Structure 1
Amino acid sequence: MSAAHSPRLKYMSLGVLVVQTTSLVLTMRYSRTLKEDGPRYLAASAVVSAEVLKIVTCILLVFRDHNFSVHILNQVLKEEIVNKPRETLKLAIPAAIYTLQNNLLYIALSNLDAATYQVTYQLKILTTALFSVSMLGKRLGLFQWLSLLILMAGVALVQWPTDFAAVPKEKSLSAGSQFGGVMAVLVACVSSGFGGVYFEKILKESKQSVWVRNIQLGLFGFVFGLVGMLVYDGHSVREHGMFQGYNAVTCAVVVLQALGGLVIAAVIKYADNILKGFATSLSIIMSTLISYFWLEDFDPTSVFFLGAMLVIAATFLYGYERKSVSPTIKV
């Protein structure tokens, strides 16, 4: 790749990340609050569908990397997946964690507005950093530890309780579910941190293509997601089918979720952490504005804005230290 094309690819990948992240959060929130006739789509079904799409996409990428040869594709998949069962089984743990995480995000966005979710979910930076220190022996600099403290303070302010006496009765009644949404985000942050570091450790210990690893991850994710759907939503699936409640918005959520990992891979390849932090911050701002003006499910307060600014500042500070000292984990 020439130097002339590098800046264009860098900012293009960041632009796609901002659009993908913001669109996923907003469409997922919209899809979970949209009033329609008939049953709502199952979150577990959407997770399974996203895994299938992710597997198909990664197979096509492996196919492209081997000059569109069907014979070589079959050979690679058989050699790397079927003939290496121990290597493949290593992906079972992160796959189970990611399946749990993806289901939790649907629960979170069913109970939280997009802006609160976006800011709170940045706690995955903290969990990923802590797991990288404990599991990979990474060392964090002074600015990184400081940024993590600022991050916790910012998220705490975002979750600061509002004056419910001044809130309309309809909204105060739904406020009880907010606790469940926050807990879902927090557990998702922990699973994201552990899963990400565990997956990185596996990638470093092998020479397999990242797309092959994602196929292995997707296969386990599909199995775990399907079993979970049949266990928890089996009656609903038997009564209305797996794809009950699907519409254009649901399909958009599935596509955005499936392609999210590929977009992040492109950003990691072409952009640095400073610009990635900028993209995250821009996504938070866009989600806040759209949540307020379009979805009309968010009533911002001065405390929220202060917390959001602290989270954005912490994101930049963490990325700056990572670039200036030494490369560390991907968050």
Structure 2
Amino acid sequence: MINKETGSLEHNSHEALCHDNHKGQEGTEETASVTDSGQEEIPDDIGPCISITMLKHLSLILLTLQNAILILVMRYTRTRKGDMYFATTAVVVSEALKVLTSLVILANQEKTITKLFCYLRDNIWRQPLDCLKVSVPSFIYTLQNNLLYIALSNLDAATFQVTYQLKILTTALFSVLMLNKKLSPQQWSALVILFVGVALVQFRPEDSKSPKTSGSLAQKPLMGLLAVILSCFMSGFAGVYFEKILKGTKQSLWLRNVQLGGMSVIIGLLTMEIKDGVKIQEHGFFFGYDYVVWIVISFQSLGGLLVAVVVKYADNILKGFATSAAIVLSCIASIYLFDFRLSLPFSTGACLVIISVYIYSKFVPEKSLPQANVGKEKSPSRVILSKNQNVSIRESVVNYINRFW
């Protein structure tokens, strides 16, 4: 009897703690709050030394570097001599690391393990329909990550990097269809230029192609090209879908990453069993792994988190254009690392892609610029934005520079 009463008291105390923790989290979510007038108020200062503008630009720069380095190292691991690791296992480990990192950040925010447990229980276990929404991009991202390994096993890093920028076109199209975003005529022209540039990259003379790799896998350029194109469509849809989830709910960014990564691990394990189950039973889960493979996995996990931050504080299209800068880095590095040879069609196509980036970034519709919340005072350190509106890179850079003058 005493034990039962004690257990009941402990249970009630635990429920009360969770309830208090849930109430204490209201108004302190990481996402932007909505004002009485129906507008979304985004704090310009996240921490004592970090502003929204600085975080946005820093995340875009880091994402660009991460994309360039990841593609080069991943290409190296898929073409070198020796035992080849299973790409499906790398995808699973990468998603698991992403979940672990997000949990560490959430634990730091919640301060105690008990509060973290209550937070996860209230927002994941007790909201299955909300988690079900995340399963759509999780499934697509998992397949996309596997397609990237197939593409880089059959295309050189520079060609892959340029062709992969088609995801900007698909992202823009899905943004117009799903988020009702408006593009200026110049931006539509930039997307056409982008498509032409990517097409030119594919037409390279035989003598300008990179020497045949010494790796154990035979190169199949057509298979690599199809994998990239399919991956671009998946990236565009999943990215816009995830952006809509992030900006349409009050859930924490890191909670969404836990949901996204957790579902991706489950889907990745199923994919791994279907594709490489027999081989993994024979050779082992970590067959072919070394420190270079772990670098690839770590960079891939970092990229997923950076993408989430960029989508949250910038937008999905700007994320795509920021990564386009990695083209230059990949081309230069490929010349020295993989004996890549530039040709006139490739150089022309790459230049067209870069030009399209400039045009698209410069001619942003006026509706995309920030609008003040009329009739309501605000401090200079805060910016009021209408819901689902985004600040252009050009305007943000100008505002950031003006702070120092």
TM-score by length of 2: 0.73
User: Which residue does 2:103 correspond to in 1?
Assistant: 59
User: Which residue does 1:19 correspond to in 2?
Assistant: 65
Question: Is the Cα contact below 8 Å between 2:209 and 2:341 reproduced in 1?
Answer: no
SS in 2 for 1:90: helix
Q: Which has the higher contact order (CA 8 A, sep 6+)?
A: 1
User: Which residue does 1:314 correspond to in 2?
Assistant: 356
User: Which residue does 2:257 correspond to in 1?
Assistant: 214
Question: Is the Cα contact below 8 Å between 2:167 and 2:320 reproduced in 1?
Answer: no
Q: Indicate how the Cα distance of structure 1 residues 272 and 27 shifts in structure 2: closer, same or farther if over 3 A, else same.
A: same
SS in 2 for 1:91: helix
Question: Is the Cα contact below 8 Å between 1:138 and 1:328 reproduced in 2?
Answer: no
User: Which residue does 2:93 correspond to in 1?
Assistant: 49
Aligned-partner Cα distance in 2 for 1:62–1:166: 50
Deviation at 1:217, TM superposition (A): 0.8
Q: Indicate how the Cα distance of structure 1 residues 241 and 91 shifts in structure 2: closer, same or farther if over 3 A, else same.
A: same
Question: Is the Cα contact below 8 Å between 1:197 and 1:329 reproduced in 2?
Answer: no
Q: In terms of mean alpha carbon deviation, does 257-266 or 285-294 score higher?
A: 257-266
Question: Is the Cα contact below 8 Å between 2:208 and 2:343 reproduced in 1?
Answer: no
Deviation at 1:282, TM superposition (A): 3.5
Q: In terms of mean alpha carbon deviation, does 222-231 or 5-14 score higher?
A: 5-14
Q: Indicate how the Cα distance of structure 1 residues 193 and 273 shifts in structure 2: closer, same or farther if over 3 A, else same.
A: closer
Aligned-partner Cα distance in 1 for 2:129–2:315: 34
SS in 1 for 2:286: coil
Q: In terms of mean alpha carbon deviation, does 124-133 or 266-275 score higher?
A: 266-275
Give the % identical residues: 47
Aligned-partner Cα distance in 2 for 1:8–1:169: 42
Q: Indicate how the Cα distance of structure 1 residues 175 and 158 shifts in structure 2: closer, same or farther if over 3 A, else same.
A: farther
User: Which residue does 2:274 correspond to in 1?
Assistant: 231
Q: Indicate how the Cα distance of structure 1 residues 62 and 110 shifts in structure 2: closer, same or farther if over 3 A, else same.
A: same
Aligned-partner Cα distance in 2 for 1:233–1:60: 31
Question: Is the Cα contact below 8 Å between 1:157 and 1:303 reproduced in 2?
Answer: yes
Aligned-partner Cα distance in 2 for 1:34–1:176: 12
SS in 1 for 2:89: helix
Deviation at 1:236, TM superposition (A): 0.7
Which is higher, the Rg of structure 1 or of structure 2? 2
Question: Is the Cα contact below 8 Å between 1:13 and 1:270 reproduced in 2?
Answer: no
TM-score by length of 1: 0.88
Aligned-partner Cα distance in 2 for 1:277–1:201: 16
Gap regions ≥5 residues in structure 2: 1-44, 369-388, 393-405
User: Which residue does 2:84 correspond to in 1?
Assistant: 40
User: Which residue does 1:203 correspond to in 2?
Assistant: 246
Aligned-partner Cα distance in 1 for 2:92–2:262: 10
Q: Indicate how the Cα distance of structure 1 residues 329 and 255 shifts in structure 2: closer, same or farther if over 3 A, else same.
A: farther
- Aligned AA (2:231): A
Question: Is the Cα contact below 8 Å between 2:137 and 2:260 reproduced in 1?
Answer: yes
Q: Indicate how the Cα distance of structure 1 residues 275 and 179 shifts in structure 2: closer, same or farther if over 3 A, else same.
A: closer
- Aligned AA (2:253): V
SS in 1 for 2:364: helix
User: Which residue does 1:114 correspond to in 2?
Assistant: 157
User: Which residue does 2:75 correspond to in 1?
Assistant: 29
Q: Indicate how the Cα distance of structure 1 residues 309 and 79 shifts in structure 2: closer, same or farther if over 3 A, else same.
A: same
Aligned-partner Cα distance in 1 for 2:78–2:225: 16
Question: Is the Cα contact below 8 Å between 1:141 and 1:325 reproduced in 2?
Answer: no
Q: Indicate how the Cα distance of structure 1 residues 95 and 278 shifts in structure 2: closer, same or farther if over 3 A, else same.
A: closer
Q: In terms of mean alpha carbon deviation, does 305-314 or 134-143 score higher?
A: 134-143
User: Which residue does 1:151 correspond to in 2?
Assistant: 194
**Which one has the bigger helix percentage?**
1
Q: In terms of mean alpha carbon deviation, does 51-60 or 197-206 score higher?
A: 197-206
What does 1:273-312 correspond to in 2, within 5 Å?
Answer: 279-296=322-339, 298-312=340-354
How many pairs does the alignment contain? 323
Aligned-partner Cα distance in 2 for 1:200–1:320: 22
Deviations 1:130-171 (A, max 9, x none): 1111222222111110111010010011111x3337879958
- Aligned AA (1:59): L
Deviation at 1:15, TM superposition (A): 3.8
Question: Is the Cα contact below 8 Å between 2:166 and 2:232 reproduced in 1?
Answer: yes
Gap regions ≥5 residues in structure 1: none
Question: Is the Cα contact below 8 Å between 1:120 and 1:158 reproduced in 2?
Answer: yes
